[in-house]
Amino acid sequence: MNQAKIRKELLSKIDQSSAVEREKVDRYISLLKVFYKLDRLIKPDNVMIKIENGKQVYWKSNPAIAEKNRINTALIALEKDFKYSVLPTEKPKTKVVANGKEYDPGDLV
């Protein structure tokens, strides 16, 4: 993961004069760090972990996986927010020529 590249790309998509937008980028990077830390924690224990409670021994799913899913949901929500906060670029107007006259696409029914 290259945090500097990700931060630079996100900052290029937002209004940098907005403290709220910059805070969203910081929050995204922070969540991303935790997401990858959880990856490192899951690998040694694997998907299932062994629980020993006295004489009882059982297996259960690694709680880090549920946490990783929760963080992934938060990352996706922030990504959607970045896409909506980007100012739309104006589409170039195209003219349609019909019967020797120029029309805007909206003029034609």
Structural domain spans, the chain: 3-84
Residue 47 is classified by DSSP as: S
| Whether 95 contacts 104, CB under 8 Å | yes
Question: Full-prediction pTM beyond 0.75?
Answer: no
pLDDT digits (tens, 9 = 90+) for 38-92: 988 888 768 888 899 999 999 998 899 999 999 999 999 998 888 766 555 555 5
The secondary element (H helix, E strand) that includes residue 96 is: strand 96-98
